[in-house]
Chain A
Amino acid sequence: MGGGTEVLQNLNPRLFVKCVDRAVTEDDWNENVTDEFDSREVFDLIRHINDPEHPLTLEELNVVDVNRITVDNEKNKIDILYTPTIPHCSLATLIGLTIKVQLLRNIPPRFKIQVKITPGTHVSEAAINKQMADKERVSAAMENIDLIQTINKSLIEVENHYK
């Protein structure tokens, strides 16, 4: 892993149309209405994450999509499926980890977050999913300075977008 690969994995990624911003409703300002987490809210946290090799967001590359996010407020579960741009992408683990770190930092701890590869879209799907689901290895990765710097770089754009 590591973002600075010399040879691009995917030379000509297909671009996708970005979705419109979330509509603000009256209820958003009403203190008496409980705002439950929904897939759009989770999507807004991850759509602007930068791809590790292209100056494009995960949304523009269709790596993440609002329809592949499931939020269960009652069971405190958030499930995300992400689609690597090519089935051999060696950066797939890094992208998944970046999504996971972003959510661990921004979602209340009551939620159990599962980040998995969209079935059938990567050759090492099972191995990557297993690694991503191992919270001990994710915790250790988050203490790895080189890795967390790479991840933070991908997350800077998200911060900038909402400034």
Chain B
Amino acid sequence: MIVSVLVFVHWLHATAKSLFLKPNRSLNGVVPMSDLNVKLELIESLKGHTGKVWCAKWNASGTLLASCGEDKTVRLWGTSGGQWKLKTVLQDGHQKTVRDLSWSPCGKFLATASFDGTTAIWDNLGGQFECNAALEGHENEVKSVSWCPSGNLIATCSRDKSVWIWQVENDDYDCAAVLNAHIQDVKKVAWSPEGDVLASASYDETIKMFKEDPNDGEWSNVATLKSHNTTVWSISFDKTGTRLASCADDGTVKIWRQYLPGNPEGVGTVDNDPTWKCVCTLSGYHDGPVYDIAWHPSEDLIVTAACDNGVRLFRMEPESDPNEPSFSLVAANYAAHSQDVNSVKWHPTDPKLFVTAGDDSTVSIWQVT
């Protein structure tokens, strides 16, 4: 009930503010500039992959961009003369689609998750990137991989419904936990910025939080976030790790807020663990599944990648109540790709750049102006 009221209030707010917010084909894929105060400019369109590109991410310093997809390759792109160019093609690491990738915080390692059931670890210790380790154990497709901020843990998840945590020690990878909390295909794993909490999103329509017990080193499910009524495709923490954005198959985006035990708002908690509550739902903006979402590294900006070929940028109203925040669409390109957009990531150091990857075999770099 609370959620639906919030949705309605938000809808009223959004509609009253600007009628252009609704996706409209007649706009020919571009929102008129006069209507939006922010522009999305296509900086680079990188081609080379064949088939779907599932993911593209920058390394921690933002100097290298890695992309992967249906063609089983990983491509590394770098700048030369101010332009992004293909540097290396990494192949033969996987037998099937490479679904997701994650850079180590130090930038020397790259982990790739594949439908072949393995996660490959590539390193450039020998001067160029080579596959020197494979993490095996999942029963079928590995859907996502995430390297924790301190660099000593890797999380993977799979269609086998499990989330695995791997301990990294001197190029050795040991399974530290197998978490079977989800009851369906797990789509995404993401570490909080502090690295002490792991979040996972699933086909079972929930998001789960995991934490390590400092006493016995055991990992356990400490929170289950229920509100989406369809597959949750992706999640992204804000810079503080106290809020989370999620996107789902029905086109909704939700904002979750962490409430610590004894919070002044009076939100109940269990076992001294924080409660995560959905404080905002953005609906009516996306026509179909939203495959990825990224919270800006420093600001309250959220960008989404959708199945309707669109990329949308939302900004939190600075005056809005943190317990009932409202987000407005501030920029959009409804023809960002010519097919589904699968992934979106902000540049780690340049606050104006983000990268998208799509089914149209393209990796695109965008500038927010």
Report if A74-B115 is in contact (Cβ < 8 Å); known contacts: A110-B338, A136-B99, A140-B97: no
CB-defined contacts of A112 to chain B, threshold 8 Å: 288, 307-308
Q: Is the CB of A139 within 8 A of B52?
A: yes
Q: Is the CB of B231 within 8 A of A139?
A: no
- A74 to B25 Cα, complex, angstroms: 9
A128-158 vs B, Cβ < 8 Å mask (1 yes, 0 no): 0010011111011001000000000000000
Asked if A120 CB lies within 8 Å of chain B CBs, one says: no
Q: Which of A8-27 contact B (CB under 8 A)?
A: none
Given contact pairs A109-B359, A110-B338, a sample of 19 additional A-B residue pairs in the complex whose CB atoms are under 8 Å apart = A75-B25, A110-B339, A112-B288, A130-B230, A130-B231, A133-B249, A133-B289, A134-B185, A134-B203, A136-B143, A137-B159, A137-B185, A139-B52, A139-B115, A140-B96, A140-B115, A140-B159, A143-B96, A143-B97
Asked if B141 CB lies within 8 Å of chain A CBs, one says: yes
Interface residues of B: mostly helix, strand, loop or mixed?
loop
Q: Shortest CB–CB separation between residue B280 and chain A, in angstroms?
A: 25
CB-defined contacts of B123 to chain A, threshold 8 Å: none
CB-defined contacts of A134 to chain B, threshold 8 Å: 185, 203, 231, 249
B109-138 vs A, Cβ < 8 Å mask (1 yes, 0 no): 000000100000000000000000000000
B227-258 vs A, Cβ < 8 Å mask (1 yes, 0 no): 00011000000000000000001000000000
* 29 sampled A-B residue pairs with Cβ under 8 A: A74-B25, A109-B338, A109-B339, A109-B360, A110-B338, A110-B339, A112-B288, A112-B307, A112-B308, A133-B249, A133-B289, A134-B185, A134-B203, A134-B231, A135-B289, A135-B307, A135-B340, A136-B99, A136-B143, A136-B187, A137-B159, A139-B52, A139-B97, A139-B115, A140-B96, A140-B97, A140-B140, A143-B96, A143-B115
- A112 to B187 Cα, complex, angstroms: 21
Query: Which chain A residue lies CB-closest to B360?
Result: A109
CB-defined contacts of B203 to chain A, threshold 8 Å: 130, 134
Is the interface on chain B under 10, 10 to 19, 20 to 34, or 35 or more residues? 20 to 34
Q: Shortest CB–CB separation between residue A125 and chain B, in angstroms?
A: 15
CB-defined contacts of A109 to chain B, threshold 8 Å: 338-339, 359-360
Q: Shortest CB–CB separation between residue B47 and chain A, in angstroms?
A: 15
Q: Shortest CB–CB separation between residue B239 and chain A, in angstroms?
A: 28
CB-defined contacts of B25 to chain A, threshold 8 Å: 74-75
Q: Is the CB of B249 within 8 A of A140?
A: no
CB-defined contacts of B143 to chain A, threshold 8 Å: 136
CB-defined contacts of A110 to chain B, threshold 8 Å: 338-339
Is the interface on chain A under 10, 10 to 19, 20 to 34, or 35 or more residues? 10 to 19
Q: Which of B181-232 contact A (CB under 8 A)?
A: 185, 187, 203, 230-231
A109-133 vs B, Cβ < 8 Å mask (1 yes, 0 no): 1101000000000000000001001
Which of B's residues lie within 8 Å of A, judged by CB?
25, 52, 70, 96-97, 99, 115, 140-141, 143, 159, 185, 187, 203, 230-231, 249, 288-289, 307-308, 338-340, 359-360
CB-defined contacts of B359 to chain A, threshold 8 Å: 109
- A135 to B288 Cα, complex, angstroms: 12
Q: Shortest CB–CB separation between residue B175 and chain A, in angstroms?
A: 23
- A21 to B347 Cα, complex, angstroms: 55
Q: Shortest CB–CB separation between residue B289 and chain A, in angstroms?
A: 8
Query: Which chain A residue lies CB-closest to B96?
Result: A143
CB-defined contacts of B99 to chain A, threshold 8 Å: 136
Report if A140-B231 is in contact (Cβ < 8 Å); known contacts: A74-B25, A112-B288, A112-B307: no
Q: Shortest CB–CB separation between residue A116 and chain B, in angstroms?
A: 14
Q: Which of A23-41 contact B (CB under 8 A)?
A: none
- A74 to B141 Cα, complex, angstroms: 35
Interchain residue pairs A-B with the least CB separation, the first 10: A143-B96, A140-B115, A140-B141, A109-B339, A143-B115, A143-B97, A139-B97, A134-B231, A110-B338, A75-B25
CB-defined contacts of B96 to chain A, threshold 8 Å: 140, 143
CB-defined contacts of A130 to chain B, threshold 8 Å: 203, 230-231
Q: Shortest CB–CB separation between residue B369 and chain A, in angstroms?
A: 29
Q: Shortest CB–CB separation between residue B293 and chain A, in angstroms?
A: 16
Query: Which chain A residue lies CB-closest to B203?
Result: A134
Q: Shortest CB–CB separation between residue A100 and chain B, in angstroms?
A: 15
Q: Shortest CB–CB separation between residue A154 and chain B, in angstroms?
A: 22
CB-defined contacts of A136 to chain B, threshold 8 Å: 99, 143, 187
- A136 to B142 Cα, complex, angstroms: 11
Query: Which chain A residue lies CB-closest to B187?
Result: A136
- A130 to B141 Cα, complex, angstroms: 18
Q: Shortest CB–CB separation between residue A135 and chain B, in angstroms?
A: 7
CB-defined contacts of A133 to chain B, threshold 8 Å: 249, 289
CB-defined contacts of A75 to chain B, threshold 8 Å: 25
CB-defined contacts of B97 to chain A, threshold 8 Å: 139-140, 143
Q: Shortest CB–CB separation between residue A129 and chain B, in angstroms?
A: 11
Q: Shortest CB–CB separation between residue A61 and chain B, in angstroms?
A: 30
CB-defined contacts of B187 to chain A, threshold 8 Å: 136
- A143 to B71 Cα, complex, angstroms: 11
